[in-house]
Amino acid sequence: MGSNRAKSVKYQAIGLACALFLAVSLTAFVAKQAVAQVGPHPVSRVLLIYENESTLTAAVEVAQGLRASMSKAMPADIEIYSEYLDTVRFPSPANVARLTDYLTSKYQGMTFDVILTIGPGALKFALDHRTAIGGGAPIVFGAVTDNSIRNNNLPADVKGVVSHFDVGKTIGLALTLQPDTKQIVVVTGSSAFDKSWQVSARATLRDAYSGVPVTYLSNLPIEGFMDAARNAADQTIFLVLTIFEDADGRKFIPRDAAGKIAAVARVPVYSVYSSYFGAGATAGYVGTFQAVGEQMGSLAARVLKGDLNASQTSFVGDGPLVDWLQVRHFGIDPERIPRNAEIVNFQPSVWERYRPQILAILAVIVLQTATIVALFFERRRKVRLQAELNLERLELAYISRTAQLGELSGALAHELNQPLTSILANAESGRRLLDSDPLDSGELREILGDIVLDNRRASTVIIQLRRLMIRGETSLASMDLNHAATTTLALLRSELLARQTQVDLALDLPDVRIQGNLPQLQQVILNLVLNAADAMRHMPPAKRIIAIETRKRENGTLELTVTDLGVGIAPERVADLFKPFVSTKKASLGLGLAICKSIVQAHGGTLRFDDSVRQGARVILTLPAA
């Protein structure tokens, strides 16, 4: 009930706003009256007579239509007066007589150019009293049905807009929405206007319509109508016409009464009035009251302009009107809604409302998914290729090491032969010493010590060779960069002696720790030292000096440099020397530096030539500290 009361207040406010608009218009036109009286265009006066009170929804909507059309079509100099008879709620002859006396007295001495009547009661009142009140002005009527004027011989200067309020078409629409209907219930109130509606409905529907039984409910209190709607059987059509008054004599605005019934109804409520929509009506075959007002305003403008040839009656357009919220509430199949129906309160589904956006988002998601899948497979392919490249790099590095060791086989054999020969000589000396008398135990102890040292030396060479011959090593561990340099030089001692090349080793710290793979780094150092020795092979032996230095830089990284005093490298060739199959030596494949750079990069380091050196060449190996 609170909701209906709020709606009533809302429409009261709208009605008052419309009245205020007309009053403001009246004030403006009155202000211009003096000018109009002396000017070439006299003021036109229009009288609006409403059958009902000002807050009735139908009256409000008609006023809105009138305002819209009159603002466009009416002359500029015009005075508008409005009266609300409210004879539906107060229909007694005595009340009508009092209204007649009041309006006759109020408008005494005034004449109107046109009278607009809204509702059949207002039309009858104007026909009966227009001479006394309006000076016999022509009449434009609206919000009346064809039945209301069918038996009246209207004068030629009475023209208007006829509304259908078609009960038969409304029930036909209801049967379309509810094809399994078993009963039709028609509700009317107890006022004279309500009873006239029941007579009209009986004439159209009779006791059955399209084979469906029809029941007529009237002369009940509002609670009786509500109970009937609350207890209605399934598959029932509930048609509410008008309830201006109930059996207890209580007065209602029909929209509010229909709203009370619809609020408790367990079946859809139908109506022939557009004003019931928003108050609970589900559907109806209707013409809007605003359209009635618009057509009345246009017709009145033609009358004011002297066009008396307009048709005496015109019909307001009507059609099926459906409330989407009610359709959803009662589970009516939307496919049953006629294609020509006007749908109010339409709330489309998320899919219907955002279909383009959803399709665009889905397309983006599909594309992103396809991209992610493609990137995933591409990454797997790259990982697989990288793994294969790593294996090939390790295999190539292994082949390079074995090739280098093959080249050094003579030097390595000499490196092993020296301790073995020394061991043999010391062993023979020891045997002879055992035959001497007396036995010199001190000398024998020295001989055995030399044998142990020579054995360890040979063992170290073999261990280093074994490490260099291991295939596919990839793991990194904490190690000493100085140790990698010294052990590599130990392997190269005989080769360097044969090449008459001297090495100056400068170690910055006693222990320079890195994360590395010892065999791989030994291969790098071995390659750099042999390249330096080759660069100085044409020089006198006294000048064949290789400088190897380790140091810790300020940024925390560790450096190992190999410097020679050879012919150096042309600046334009420096960048190409780390590429495969590029070499300064005719007999070389040009893979050594490329493999070394690959190993160093796998350790997170860099390998480059120092372009600041003016004589010879310096290679700088940089590695991150452990």
One DSSP character per residue, 456-512 reads HHHHHHHHHHHHHH--S----EEEEHHHHHHHHHHHHHHHHHHTT-EEEEEESSS--
In a domain, 367, yes or no: no
At 228, is the pLDDT very low, low, confident or very high (cuts 50, 70, 90)? very high
In a domain, 300, yes or no: no
Q: Work out the widest C-alpha separation in the chain, in whole angstroms.
A: 173
pLDDT value of residue 139: 93
At 308, is the pLDDT very low, low, confident or very high (cuts 50, 70, 90)? low
Residues 126, 196 within the same domain: no
Looking at every residue in the chain, the average pLDDT score rounds to 82
- Cα(390)–Cα(229) distance, rounded to whole angstroms? 84
pLDDT value of residue 332: 94
Residues 126, 30 within the same domain: yes
At 25, is the pLDDT very low, low, confident or very high (cuts 50, 70, 90)? very low
In a domain, 459, yes or no: no
pLDDT value of residue 11: 45
Q: When comparing pLDDT for 626 and 329, which is higher?
A: 329
Domain boundary among 116, 135, 163: 163
Residues 584, 482 within the same domain: yes
Residues 530, 587 within the same domain: yes
Nearest to 626 by CA among 552, 567, 530: 552
In a domain, 356, yes or no: no
Q: Residue 26 pLDDT more than 60?
A: no
Q: Residue 423 pLDDT more than 50?
A: yes
Mean pLDDT (whole number) for 439-467: 71
Nearest to 116 by CA among 97, 135, 131, 137: 137
Q: When comparing pLDDT for 448 and 250, which is higher?
A: 250
**For position 490, which CATH number holds?**
3.30.565.10
Name 395's Cβ contacts closer than 8 Å, sequence gap at least 6: 471, 472
Residues 192, 239 within the same domain: yes
Mean pLDDT (whole number) for 485-501: 83
In a domain, 119, yes or no: yes
Residues 138, 224 within the same domain: no
In a domain, 389, yes or no: no
Which backbone phi and psi does 25 adopt, to 5 degrees?
-60, -45
pLDDT value of residue 507: 87
Residues 121, 55 within the same domain: yes
Q: When comparing pLDDT for 8 and 382, which is higher?
A: 382
Q: Which of 109-113, 143-147, 250-254 has the lowest mean pLDDT?
A: 143-147
- Cα(595)–Cα(599) distance, rounded to whole angstroms? 6
Residues 199, 149 within the same domain: no
pLDDT value of residue 38: 41
In a domain, 206, yes or no: yes
At 215, is the pLDDT very low, low, confident or very high (cuts 50, 70, 90)? very high
- Cα(620)–Cα(482) distance, rounded to whole angstroms? 15
Residues 9, 155 within the same domain: yes
Name 308's Cβ contacts closer than 8 Å, sequence gap at least 6: 138, 156, 157
- Cα(68)–Cα(478) distance, rounded to whole angstroms? 91
- Cα(366)–Cα(116) distance, rounded to whole angstroms? 64
Domain boundary among 101, 136, 163: 163
- Cα(288)–Cα(200) distance, rounded to whole angstroms? 20
Q: Which of 288-297, 423-432, 457-466 has the lowest mean pLDDT?
A: 457-466
State the Rg of the chain over Cα.
56
What ranges make up the beta strands (E) of 138-232? 139-145, 158-163, 183-187, 208-209, 212-217
Which backbone phi and psi does 174 adopt, to 5 degrees?
-65, -40
Per the structure, how many domains does the chain have?
3
Domain that holds residue 263: 167-283+319-347
Helix (H/G/I), strand (E/B), else coil: 183:
strand
Domain boundary among 108, 142, 163: 163
pLDDT value of residue 435: 77
In a domain, 176, yes or no: yes
Mean pLDDT (whole number) for 209-213: 94
Mean pLDDT (whole number) for 194-210: 93
pLDDT value of residue 222: 96
Residues 538, 575 within the same domain: yes
Both tokens assigned to 356: 């383009």
Q: When comparing pLDDT for 481 and 389, which is higher?
A: 481
Helix (H/G/I), strand (E/B), else coil: 336:
helix
**For position 175, which CATH number holds?**
3.40.50.2300
Q: Residue 418 pLDDT more than 90?
A: no
- Cα(534)–Cα(492) distance, rounded to whole angstroms? 13
Q: Residue 57 pLDDT more than 90?
A: no
pLDDT value of residue 399: 63
Q: Note whether 219 and 190 are within 8 A (CB).
A: yes
**For position 153, which CATH number holds?**
3.40.50
Residues 102, 199 within the same domain: no
Residues 480, 618 within the same domain: yes
